[in-house]
Structure 1
Amino acid sequence: MFTSVKTAEKKTIALFALVAVVVLTGIGFGVSYAWRESRGPTAATAEDCVLAQELFDKAGTVPSGKEEAKAFEKEIRAMDYPQFVDQGIRTEVGKYVTWKVSKVTGEGTPPSREKFDEMVENAQGHCSDQQPLNIPAYDF
């Protein structure tokens, strides 16, 4: 016959469950990080790299008005994003466009120098087998 679980035993079970969840979560993040680091950026197609360069160049000339800048971003995302095959390079282009537009509009969080450098490295990694990307500088 079962007896009721005492309060001390309940606390022990809860503590064990919490530790198990924390450990498994840590292992999951570690494996995910190691996987990404070992695999590196995905290889983009030549067409993706050409399109990415065009968008980086285009985003370097964001209109100076707030509403025009928002419309500019919408236009880029609607017309050009569906053309990408590789989602990795698309993500890096999207970050750059968002940062350039947010600089004009004053909305959003600007990148740190480290985040910008990471985006450049990732974008160039996606196109390392194709053409080198020339990403316009970001004024911090």
Structure 2
Amino acid sequence: MQPAEAAYVGAARHFTSELLGLWGLAAEDRIAAELIVDELAANAARHGRAQMSIRLCMHDDGLVITVTDSGEARHHDGASPDSTPPDEHGRGLEIVRRLAGSTCIHDDERGRRVVTTRRLAPLQRSVAGVTSPAS
């Protein structure tokens, strides 16, 4: 868990890039996953929960990305928290949905959890030094 602050968004993206590189995912999948994590971590920081966490796992031919933010929501006065014009906000989840293929959002008193699944390219992937051919 890291604080849900803009300063940690880059670290989340870097973590994703490094881990998926070690897992041997195709460049297209790594780039898409980095964009998904970047957008979801930025949303967690922007819309304000206390802590955020990122979980990546491979399941069959899919990559599951879960970004959770927890704690009490910080309420904004309706003004944009940065200098971005209001019409530029609200497009991030649509981008995530297009890149991921499957997106579920769970809100409750503990926070928000966004779970995405992206089908992986049918290339050879190496996990912990073991190479498995794509089917």
- Fold in common (TM above 0.5): no
Which one has a larger percent strand, Structure 1 or Structure 2? Answer: 2
Larger Rg: 1
Higher relative contact order (CA closer than 8 Å, sequence separation 6+): 1
> Which TM-score tier does this pair reach, normalised by the shorter chain?
0.3 to 0.5
Q: Tell me the TM-score normalized by structure 2.
A: 0.34
Which one has a larger percent helix, Structure 1 or Structure 2? Answer: 1
Q: Tell me the TM-score normalized by structure 1.
A: 0.34
